Amino acid sequence: MFTAIIFDLDGVITDTARYHYLAWKRLAEGLGVPFDEAFNEQLKGVDRMGSLDLILRRGGLDPDAAERARLADQKNDDYRQLVATMTRADLLPGALRALEAARGAGLKVGLASVSKNAGTILERLGITGYFDYVVDANLITRGKPDPEIFLTAAERLGVAPKACIGVEDAAVGVQAIKSAGMVAIGVGDPTILALADRVVPTLFDFDLAAALRDLAV
Ligand code: BG6
Ligand code: MG
């Protein structure tokens, strides 16, 4: 029986994945590093410095720590400008319904995002109150695909991992959920999220009651 559901944020609840993409693309192309949607898939769910490293490696670049920090700040400034005007209207279709269904079913609701901007985004969307616990980059030492972020969320919610459903749009995120011993709902492309127990195109297509009934072990 499931007693908690733990959501990723970017690309699941709101389309900030698009804004991360735009900000990284601008930075990468400014450095002469080619950047497209396929390469961007590798960055989804990866933290800021990890993503920057992947871009630099792709371009065969190896700047010093100070320059890396400057580049990461530049991307984050661009990203924050893109998200500054977000409102509740920027929730992805079905996101609010999924949060309300989870609360209505009496589940604990957690957030597992490696984004240092997660708290700000929840505030902008006006949905902070839906979450019993938020785990972001400040609370973990290892990023996805390591299970630490989902295990920390389960622990803080006071729920055993096997009683949790995790929801993710990134391949590394689905890997993290499965390594944590949880059931994984993938949001997006089933070929990319092949390890998930179930894949839906968006949360609009997610039926929580059916998942609670069909996926329990
Ligand atoms: C993840 C996104 O949620 O957060 C990544 O999928 C992003 O694309 C990462 O790089 C870190 O976000 P931030 O806001 O701390 O730069
Ligand atoms: Mg995501």
Tens of pLDDT along 91-101?
A: 999 999 999 99
Give the right CATH number for 17-83 from 1.10.760.10, 3.40.50.300, 1.20.120.550, 1.10.150.240. Answer: 1.10.150.240
Q: Determine contact, residues 31/191, Cβ cutoff 8 Å.
A: no
* SS3 per residue for 5-38: EEECCECCCECHHHHHHHHHHHHHHHCCCCCCHH
Q: How far is the CA of 9 from the centre of ligand 2 (A)?
A: 6
Q: What is the pLDDT of residue 56?
A: 98
pLDDT for position 216: 85
Closest CA relative to residue 3, chosen from 90, 106, 75: 106
Q: Which three-class secondary structure state does DSSP give residue 217?
A: coil
Rounded-to-integer distance, Cα 65 and Cα 124, Å:
32
Quote the ligand 1 centre to 216 CA distance (angstroms). Answer: 30
Which ligand gives the minimal distance to the CA of 170? 2
- E-state strands within the chain: 4-7, 108-112, 133-135, 164-168, 183-187, 198-200
Looking at the annotation, which residues are catalytic? 8, 10
Closest ligand, as measured to the CA of 11:
2
Compute the mean pLDDT over every residue in the chain, rounded to the nearest whole number. Answer: 97
Query: What's the CA gap between 55 and 60, in Å, rounded?
Result: 9
Phi, psi of 180 (to 5 degrees): -80, -5
Q: Is the peptide bond before 201 cis (omega within 30 degrees of 0)?
A: no
Instruction: Pull the structure tokens for residue 109.
Output: 């609701």
Token readout for 111 is: 């957030």
Give the whole-angstrom CA distance, residue 80 versus residue 142: 24
- DSSP 8-class letter at 3: -
Per-residue pLDDT tens listing for the chain (217 residues)? 999 999 999 999 999 999 999 999 999 999 999 999 999 999 999 999 999 999 999 999 999 999 999 999 999 999 999 999 999 999 999 999 999 999 999 999 999 999 999 999 999 999 999 999 999 999 999 999 999 999 999 999 999 999 999 999 999 999 999 999 999 999 999 999 999 999 999 999 999 999 999 998 7
Distance 61 CA to ligand 2 centre (A): 26
Nearest C-alpha to atom 16 of ligand 1 is from which residue? 48
Q: Which residues line ligand 1 (CB under 6 A)?
A: 9-10, 17, 20, 43-48, 51, 76, 113-117, 137, 170
Q: Distance between CA 171 and CA 127 in Å, rounded?
A: 25
- In the chain, residues under CATH classification 1.10.150.240 are 17-83
Contacts of residue 170, defined as CB under 8 A and 6 or more positions apart, other chains included, come to 8, 11, 44, 45, 46, 144
The arrangement of secondary structure in 4-15+88-214, i.e. its CATH architecture, is 3-Layer(aba) Sandwich (3.40)
- CATH 3.40.50.1000 residue spans of the chain: 4-15+88-214
Looking at residue 117, the DSSP 8-state letter turns out to be T
Paired strand residues for 185: 167, 198
